[in-house]
Amino acid sequence: MAGMVIFFCDQCGLRIPQKDFITGKARKAEETKALCAQCASGGDAAPADGAKTVQPLRGSRPGVRPAGRQTPGQGGERKSGPAVRDPKLGITPATREASAVARAGKAHLAAPAAPPSTSRNLVFAGVGVVAVFGVLLAVLLSGKPGAAPREKARHSTSESPSVPRPAAPTRSQPPSSGTETPPASETYDPRASVAASLLLQAKQYQASRPEDPWGYREKLEQLKAGYARTPAGDEAARLLADLKLPGKSAALAPAPGPVEGQERVQTKAAIVPQGPKVDGKLEDPAWQKAPPLTLGKVPGMGKAELATTARVLFDDKFLYVGFDCSEPDTASLKKEVGERDGKVWDDDCVEVFVLADPDLGYRHIIVNAAGTVMDENCAGGKHDASWNGDIKAAVAVEEGKRWTATLSVPLKDLGAYVGENLSWRMNLTRMRPARRGAGVQESSWAILPTMSFHQPAAFGQLDGVSIPEREGGVARKRDKPP
């Protein structure tokens, strides 16, 4: 069978057996066209080899018209007349047309049916309409179309009208049984709530720092300006009207007589030609030029169990301070803060308060057990942490015995002025956080009337301070002493 050509009838599409060509029943018109025995005989002969006859389908495919029907625009009705045969195959045009219709019918049966796109779109549209009606029905049944705006207004910090808010039960108050309702006049105002919190903070500040009434006044003024027309703002205005502040000179004047039955702490400045090395240790011989200053009890804090001493030195450009802090439990030293001006006062730390010129306020310097520095300028009741002196600090730890700290600060950064035999105010303190069953321990060189360290009127007195005029050092002068 190799090389054999298989022919299909050009009219009915049936396969033509090879023997029909040999017996002459089938005809070849060209190399690629042929008619089977039935079509070649004009449709009278039976299909060869039991082949089934395919009946053409009328109108089964668009664009194919049934045999014997005239399409519009072809000259009207079909005229009868003698059949004209194809000169090549010897068949009539009517027979060819019937064969084309049969082939079209086969193609129609083989092609897949078109999807019912219109019906499917209608189904999708119906489902969408049902969903929309379901959402609308849920909103209508909830009966609270304004719930979302009210919830947003509750958390808003703007000055929009407040809305009623039931009081939440506290831990000490059992939940309401549901029979009681809050009064109609009770409203929640976020501004009023914040103002009340700020007023409470101002009062707590006044109680903890009675020596700083200016800071208390500043907080009240901020509250009055920022939260006017609130109950707390109105109360702040009344407190400001009744507040009587002492003059700055009276606040910084020496404390009259003894404090708590003890004489005022006083020492003489130790001046050396060359300051000691700032390495956290007190081994430099220059430190021996300064007498040790003993830190003692702070009111309200109990006895200072651990010994602490400090030494103060001057040269022509710097102030040097060294601390020796007894500590048998050095393994539990708290030294968590490492960033400049962080909350180092929460760690084991030492503090220096220096008042060189009352008109400029006093400098406050803290060094924790990690050697981290926090410094600020305190004047007029304000604490300005943006002030940064050129401070060098170092810490050393002797395991199981003590930790020591040394620092240096330029005299010009302390607000010093040129002069001889001057008197400065100063305090030196230590704070030891609670640990292993022991409470917080604080100690101070100055004898303080209350537990606050920020009491410049109670600072110790440092006499004999001499500040020479130096290039790169202190150059400021005063016409008269403060």
Q: Is the pLDDT at 73 greater than 70, yes or no?
A: no
Pairing of strands 308-314, 293-294: antiparallel
Residue with the two structure tokens 């030891």: 432
Q: Please tell me the distance from the alpha carbon of residue 25 to that of residue 20, in angstroms, as a whole number.
A: 5
Q: Please tell me the distance from the alpha carbon of residue 105 to that of residue 426, in angstroms, as a whole number.
A: 115
Residue 63 confidence class, pLDDT cut points 50, 70, 90: very low
Q: Using one digit for the tens of pLDDT, what is the confidence trace for 418-457?
A: 999 999 999 999 999 988 778 889 999 998 888 889 989 8
**Tell me, what's the pLDDT at 92?**
52
Total-model pTM: 0.49
Nearest partner of 91 among 32, 23, 48, 39, judged by Cα: 39
Q: Is the pLDDT at 317 greater than 90, yes or no?
A: yes
**Tell me, what's the pLDDT at 389?**
94
**Tell me, what's the pLDDT at 23?**
84
Torsion angle, CA of 327/332/404/401, rounded to 10 degrees? Answer: 40
Residue-averaged pLDDT of the chain: 75
**Top-confidence residue, 310 or 478:** 310
Task: Pick the range with the lowest mean pLDDT from 36-40, 336-340, 404-408.
Answer: 36-40
146, burial (CB in 10 Å: exposed 0-12, middle 13-18, buried 19+): exposed
**Tell me, what's the pLDDT at 434?**
87
Which 3 state secondary structure label does DSSP give 403?
strand
For residues 299 and 255, the answer to whether their CB atoms sit within 8 Å is: no
Q: Using one digit for the tens of pLDDT, what is the confidence trace for 93-149?
A: 555 555 554 454 444 444 444 454 555 666 667 777 777 777 777 767 765 444 443
Which 3 state secondary structure label does DSSP give 408?
strand
Class of domain 266-467 (CATH, top level): mainly beta
**Tell me, what's the pLDDT at 186?**
57
Q: Using one digit for the tens of pLDDT, what is the confidence trace for 337-392?
A: 999 999 999 999 999 999 999 888 999 999 999 999 999 999 988 899 999 999 99
Domain boundaries, the chain: 7-70+82-108, 193-245, 266-467
Q: Would you tell me how many other CB atoms lie within 10 Å of the CB of residue 28?
A: 15
Q: Using one digit for the tens of pLDDT, what is the confidence trace for 281-315?
A: 999 999 999 999 999 988 877 677 899 999 999 99
**Tell me, what's the pLDDT at 321?**
98
**Top-confidence residue, 262 or 482:** 482
Q: Is the pLDDT at 13 greater than 60, yes or no?
A: yes
**Tell me, what's the pLDDT at 52?**
44
**Tell me, what's the pLDDT at 93?**
53
**CA 282: distance to chain centroid?**
46
**Tell me, what's the pLDDT at 19?**
82
**Tell me, what's the pLDDT at 266?**
87
Top mean-pLDDT range of 113-127, 203-217, 317-331: 317-331
Q: What is the mean pLDDT of residues 23-49?
A: 70
Q: What is the mean pLDDT of residues 309-327?
A: 96
